[in-house]
Amino acid sequence: MSTDFPALWRRWLPQSITAQILLLALAGLILAQVLGLQIYRSERDEALGLVNSRNAMIRLSSVVRLLSSSPPELHEEILRASRSETLMMRIQNVPLSPSEHNQQYEDVLRRLLEYPNNLSVQISAERVRDQLPPTMFQQMHQQMRDGQGHTRTGLAPPPFWQRDVRLYGSVELLDGRWLNFSSLADREPPTWSLSALLSLLLVALLIGAVLVVLLRRITRPLKLLVQQAEQFGRGAAIPPLSESGPQEVAETLAAFNRMQHRLNRFVQDRTQMLAAISHDLRTPLTSLRLRCEFLPDGEDRDRMLQTLAQMESMLHATLSFARDEHQGEENRNVDLVSLLHSLCDDYEDNGQPVECYAEGKRVYQCRPEVLRRVLQNLINNALKYAGDAEVSLEATATAILIRVRDHGEGIPEDQLESVFKPFFRLDTARNTEDGSVGLGLAIARTLIHQHGGELQLSNAPDGGLLAEIQLPL
């Protein structure tokens, strides 16, 4: 079974830029702290080993001098007085016989003792941080024990998992016996001690606090940009954003302000041009209508008057749309349930079979008159072509759904999108009589797009046409 690691990574990785940068900074801090502690531990261990070895050599030379200049009966007292937790010594008849000789330490000890060359000095130096192999360690301490299993040095040898052996070996005394010794050093305390953890936590909190302040300064304008872009996409009039923050953020806000200004100017220019053209065409159309009135009665005169009526309807619809765009109704909070019931009650008072299925209260920020106009268009189409209409409202996690349904014949599947094209009509002959020009659905979808929503048509499974408005939350 394969695992999509990128998907899992995206699932568990925080989504906000603040959380991602904070997580990355803390991960880098912990990694740097771990590496720093390991480097410090390695350097400290090496330094302690060298210092311990130097001290052991000095003390060992002093003990050998005392043993060489004192009678044998005092040797045990001298060893007892010279013992320490880091230096174990025992006089025995045989040497420890280290597996490897360290000539450097042997020469140092000879210089300190001014020892004759005929007396043997055998020293092995271990420069590992971990313990010696158990066999070597056990062999060394077994040779330093007596027959009863008790240590004559007065100190029990530490277990190999608690200490690191640095130096061990043997020095031949003047009387032919051997001074066997082992230099021990305390192991490094645990790297992640309580103080280290508290220090890391304190540093992480300080860095995290600084990062949060800086990232909030960066992300606050970006969050405002998201809110303004959402409102702008819904057709709301928004003021220019304050171009503050870091340079990159300020440049982004400035670019958004320029884009908003250019889009508003583009829409206004096109709307004014459309209104001007539609207005100017009314004069020649009125003149043509007057001329047609003076023509003799006949089929040609009726068709010309009918064509002029269609053109006037198109101009009226275009001017109405341009006028609404130019006025620019402000967004405000409105109860959609009350709006739907009020609209449906108006139709019912006029004897129209319109039913409303919406309960409770659903407050939404929109342009209520524009939304009312869209719903009127959808309900009128349902009444005109099916004879009835049902209006319902449903709220989901991401959108509000307003549906207008009829029980008519529906629309062919291949023409469900074509009806939103300007001046498109399914039945040209029928629409010629009722004055329809094919702009209603096109204008309705445009108005819904200005709210950031979507208007779609579909055929219901049990018959009829379903118009669904999706308004984002």
CA distance readout (Å), 267 to 88, 263, 324, 447: 94, 6, 13, 13
C-alpha span between 365 and 334 (Å, rounded): 6
C-alpha span between 37 and 352 (Å, rounded): 83
Contact 341, 361 (CB under 8 A): no
Contact 335, 284 (CB under 8 A): no
Range in 34-38, 121-125, 271-275 the model is least confident about: 271-275
Q: Choose among 405, 377, 408, 407: nearest CA to 392.
A: 405
Which residues, listed in sequence order, are joined to residue 334 by a DSSP beta bridge?
A: 364
Give yes or no: residues 171 and 268 share one domain: no
Q: Choose among 118, 128, 130, 123: nearest CA to 98.
A: 123
Q: What is the mean pLDDT of residues 51-61?
A: 80
Give residue-wise pLDDT tens across range 146-157.
433 333 333 344
% of the chain with per-residue pLDDT over 70:
79
Give yes or no: residues 276 and 312 share one domain: yes
Range in 39-48, 318-327, 415-424 the model is least confident about: 318-327
Q: What is the mean pLDDT of residues 1-30?
A: 68
The domain that contains 309 carries what CATH number?
A: 1.10.287.130
Residue 250 has pLDDT above 90, yes or no: no
Give yes or no: residues 47 and 121 share one domain: yes
Residue 73 has pLDDT above 80, yes or no: yes
**DSSP string covering 247-301, please?**
HHHHHHHHHHHHHHHHHHHHHHHHHHHHHHHHHHHHHHHHHHHHHHHTSPSSHHH
Give residue-wise pLDDT tens across range 224-241.
888 888 777 766 677 888
The domain that contains 447 carries what CATH number?
A: 3.30.565.10
pLDDT score for 132: 43
Give residue-wise pLDDT tens across range 300-337.
788 888 888 777 777 777 776 666 554 567 788 999 99
Within a 10 A sphere around the Cβ of 257, how many other Cβ atoms?
Answer: 17
Give yes or no: residues 380 and 426 share one domain: yes
150 or 437: which leads in pLDDT: 437
Give yes or no: residues 288 and 335 share one domain: no
**Beta strand pairing call for 163-172 and 121-125:** antiparallel
Q: Which residues contact 249 (CB under 8 A, 6 or more apart)?
A: 218, 221, 222
C-alpha span between 388 and 13 (Å, rounded): 52
Q: Which domain holds residue 323?
A: 226-328
Give yes or no: residues 52 and 156 share one domain: yes
Give yes or no: residues 171 and 54 share one domain: yes
pLDDT score for 131: 44
Residue 309, Cβ density class (10 Å: 0-12 exposed, 13-18 middle, ≥19 buried): middle
C-alpha span between 351 and 47 (Å, rounded): 100
Give yes or no: residues 404 and 441 share one domain: yes
Average pLDDT, the chain: 77
Contact 82, 61 (CB under 8 A): no
Among 156, 186, 216, identify where a domain stops.
Answer: 186
Residue 195 lies in a domain: no
Sign of CA dihedral 351, 355, 360, 362: negative
Residue 168, Cβ density class (10 Å: 0-12 exposed, 13-18 middle, ≥19 buried): buried
Residue 25 lies in a domain: no
Contact 319, 272 (CB under 8 A): no
Residue 444 has pLDDT above 80, yes or no: yes
pLDDT score for 323: 63
Give residue-wise pLDDT tens across range 199-211.
778 888 888 888 8
Residue type, 112: L
Within a 10 A sphere around the Cβ of 433, how many other Cβ atoms?
Answer: 9
Residue 162 has pLDDT above 50, yes or no: no
Q: How many domains in the chain?
A: 3
Q: Choose among 57, 45, 135, 145: nearest CA to 102.
A: 57
Contact 466, 444 (CB under 8 A): no
pLDDT score for 154: 37
% of the chain with per-residue pLDDT over 90:
13
Which pair of structure tokens corresponds to residue 111? 């210089």
pLDDT score for 15: 66
Give yes or no: residues 165 and 49 share one domain: yes
Which pair of structure tokens corresponds to residue 177? 């016996």
Range in 114-128, 290-304, 382-396, 407-421 the model is least confident about: 114-128
pLDDT score for 83: 79
pLDDT score for 149: 36
Phi, psi of 392 (to 5 degrees): -140, 160
Q: Choose among 371, 369, 373, 343: nearest CA to 358.
A: 343
Among 186, 217, 242, identify where a domain stops.
Answer: 186
Among 328, 348, 379, identify where a domain stops.
Answer: 328
> Sorting pLDDT into bands at 50, 70 and 90, what band is 192?
low
191 or 239: which leads in pLDDT: 239
Give yes or no: residues 298 and 234 share one domain: yes
